[in-house]
Amino acid sequence: MNRSFDALLFDMDGLMLDTETLSCAATRRAGAELGIPVDDAMLMGMVGLSEARCARYIAEYLASEELAARLQQTSRACYRRMLEQEEIPLKTGILELLDWAASQSIPRAVATSTRREIADVKLARSGLAHYFRHTIAGDEIARTKPEPDIYLAAAALLGARPERCVVLEDSPYGMQAGIAAGARVILVPDLITPSDAQRAQALATCGDLSQALAILKTL
């Protein structure tokens, strides 16, 4: 079958794994423990950012590098415990989509803002690791999302031209990264509702990955 794409590039948190809610819960727990106010606006501003970008964002939001460092250190420890002890839920449709991609021998890679150590834990504990021979983590590139570097690197790992890749993303930052790399992006929103302008930039905006699969089968 002649497809209009050669490879699939996947975000991880919020796209394949329902971990953004875990991350928000960890930050709230850390804030409560430290007496640092954590509101919805802060949490939503962090979605899709790398750990380094989150640190800068929180410092600006709280107007304090010291408070930001304490909050991030405590929330990181809490999040790690949650990942190791609690179930990591999958997003609706991801197994169906990955099984189809594997059956069609479509090259695929993970491109996540999460640092390597944590990304490997998530992929292994969720059972998704065996679907991917290639992964790029946020601490392995110079510039993280919304810059295009991570998707350019993922395409290069697969030997695919970026413009022949389809990126699957849940966040506006991730979509910006995919588009900047020259790829087409299917947006499957998680915590953040995209604006009309953002929807217009996407190849499609889907309610879940089952809908995304239906679109991929037509390309």
29 with 93, same domain: the answer is no
In a domain, 77, yes or no: yes
Give the pLDDT of residue 48. 74
Tell me: do 102 and 40 sit in the same domain: no
Please state, rounded to an integer, the average pLDDT across all residues of the chain: 94
Residues 110 and 68 occupy one common structural domain? no
pLDDT of the residue at 143: 93
How would residue 86 be classed by pLDDT, with cut points 50, 70 and 90? Answer: confident
Shared domain for 104 and 171, answered yes or no, is yes
Indicate the residue among 85, 104, 133 that finishes a domain.
85
If asked whether residues 161 and 182 sit together in one domain, one would say yes
Contacts of 156 (CB under 8 A, 6+ apart): none
Structural domain containing residue 158:
7-18+89-216
The reported pTM is: 0.86
SS3 196: helix
Q: What is the DSSP letter of 50?
A: -
Lowest-confidence pick of 20-24, 66-70, 100-104: 20-24
Instruction: Please write the tens of the pLDDT for every residue from 107-117.
Output: 999 999 999 99
Please check whether residues 95 and 182 belong to one and the same domain.
yes
For 55, other C-beta atoms within 10 Å of its C-beta total 18
Q: Are residues 168 and 190 in the same domain?
A: yes
Please identify, among 55, 85, 115, the residue that sits at the C-terminal boundary of a domain: 85
Residue pointed to by tokens 């499957």: 188
Q: Are residues 96 and 33 in the same domain?
A: no
146: cis peptide before it, omega within 30°? yes
Question: Within this chain, do residues 97 and 187 fall inside the same structural domain, yes or no?
Answer: yes
* DSSP letter for each residue of 164-192: GEEEEESSHHHHHHHHHHT-EEEE--SSS
Domain match, 11 and 38 both: no
Could you tell me if 49 and 134 lie in one domain?
no
Which of 49, 69, 85 is the endpoint of a domain?
A: 85
Whole-angstrom Cα distance, residue 32 to residue 184?
A: 40
Domain count, the chain: 2
